[in-house]
Amino acid sequence: MSFELGESYSGFKLHQRESISELNSMALLFTHLKTGAEVLVMENDDDNKVFSATFKTPPSNDRGVAHILEHSVLCGSRKYPVKEPFLELLKGSLQTFLNAMTFPDKTMYPVASRNKKDFFNLMDVYLDAVFYPNITEETFMQEGWHHELE
């Protein structure tokens, strides 16, 4: 499919197109018209498909809330209510990469697969996890505990 600069596709407007010679790729930056969410598409010949849901998570203190939430959202979701879908995916997916990472200013949930059906399944599981997590008090007790050293 050929994308035209300034045109909208499924509610996303293409506002930047740039060749990245080092990656032998064409970078396309889309912005969602209603929410402002950005989507970066890298068109190239690589058969490994990669997706990441990435959120700005600047901390307000040093308690590690973003990292606790990173782990907590991967403890089941509305569509996938299993206790640890991440471990199920590691066992049963054709994934080439599956992880979640917290940085000082953002949290990422990346997945990759060479198999198209598996790739879309991974995306579905991760998107459901980040937007509809089954976070309970028990989840926080499991993921957010700490000890005070005297």
Structure tokens given for 96: 């080439």
Strand arrangement, sheet containing 25-32: 8-9, 12-20, 25-32, 38-43
Active-site residue list:
70, 143
